[in-house]
Amino acid sequence: MRGKTVLLIIGGGIAAYKALELVRRLAERGVRTRAILTKAGAEFVTPLSVSALTGEKIYSDLFSLTDEAEMGHIQLSRSADLVVVAPATADLMAKMANGLANDLASTSLLATDKPVLMAPAMNVRMWESASVKRNREILEKDGVLFAGPNDGEMACGEFGPGRMAEPLEIVAAIERALAIEGPLAGFKALVTAGPTREPVDPVRFLANHSSGKQGYAIADALARAGAETTLISGPVDLTAPQGVKLQRVTTAREMLAACEAALPADVLVMAAAVADWRPDFAANSKIKKSTDRVVPLIKLVENPDILATIAQSAQRPRLLIGFAAETDDVVPNAVAKRARKGADWIIANDVSGDVMGGDRNRIHLISEAGTEDWPDMTKSEVGIQLAARIAKTLKGAA
């Protein structure tokens, strides 16, 4: 994205503080940011802090004689490659959807001839209201792009959709909006996600609590980085990320067969929580409770070890990454797993809490070079950071 310019409109919401981090992340990528700070936005972040990070003058007043003389609102709205509204409040969405223009932000949105990306942020009840839904439909029909919102806890204490996307998620959306070729363009990626289900009979199965969220986030990040990405998913209630080829499976044996059929690949990230065992026999009809209360004996047999199998395959990917979900001795167990399975990297995380169903994760990257402890972050951020490390490694080995 180096050399591009973004016009950032900062709306009035508590999430405005994330706009400062967004500016910093864009600067790391060589993107110049010019900012419009709304009057409401200035209640949450100061013009000085925004100016210090952008290195630019801050614009806020439609009727400023100086600003209009230096760079009128028409030129301001068209001088960037992309207009980003973060946070995009219900008010800003309503103004743009209905063509209202009574301040610098709304006037610039109406006057721009460049793509617009909105990162909504508002209370869950506001986001789910009929008027906001209607305005979003209008904006999407008009070609406006969206990043988020996410589910999460609000500043008001409520929980649900309406939380502004994290800065790195917005950066990824900006990259897509500008149609920039990502660092993994030309590479092929394969990701597994979710649990497997091993049938006992037609109505019962053995499984685990994996939500699939981390695997889906990794597949999304890899695709955004330009990789041709295939996602092999166990049974979860998630939508395939944009640009990702999705193949659904149920059992561990089906997942292994799907992985082998999808090879060769440059990188394989095995985030799926594959069942270690399965019943040696699955009944064709429901096993009924006996009148004498005898509990049926279910004999378990070991499932194929997908990671170890592919590590020894003639089509082994250039970079083979496994996951280690642990409840105790997380790093030592992951180090041992990497050596035992023959993986290049192992991503270890502690699943003794709500990690399998939650939206955040704290991982340890185990490689030949040692252990990297990553800070707590959203699963989307883990995916983005991991995709960046994968790109650096693959390009360095090319």
Report the run of H or E that residue 195 belongs to, with start and end.
none
Q: Beta strands 377-378 and 360-361: pairing type?
A: antiparallel
Asked if 156 is an active-site residue, the reply is yes
| Residue 362 in tokens | 């704290």
Closest CA to 189 of 156, 220, 150: 220
Set 156, 261, 300, 301: catalytic member = 156
Cα 8 from Cα 86, distance rounded (Å): 7
Q: Using the 8-state DSSP alphabet, how is residue 15 labeled?
A: G
Q: What sign results for the dihedral spanned by CA atoms 111, 113, 114, 115? A: positive
> How distant is the alpha carbon of residue 116 from its chain centre?
20
Report the run of H or E that residue 179 belongs to, with start and end.
none
> How distant is the alpha carbon of residue 285 from its chain centre?
41
Cα 334 from Cα 351, distance rounded (Å): 13
Instruction: Answer whether 35's CB lies under 8 Å from 64's CB.
Output: no
| Residue 340 in tokens | 């035992």
Query: Which residue type, as a one-letter code, is found at position 329?
Result: D
| Contacts (Cβ under 8 Å, ≥6 apart) of 43 | 12
Looking at the DSSP assignment, which residues form a beta bridge with residue 32? Answer: 5
What's the Cα-to-Cα distance from 74 to each of 10, 87, 109, 112, 397, rounded to whole Å? 18, 22, 10, 7, 47
Cα 161 from Cα 170, distance rounded (Å): 16
Q: What sign results for the dihedral spanned by CA atoms 88, 91, 96, 102? A: negative
Q: Which residues are catalytic?
A: 156
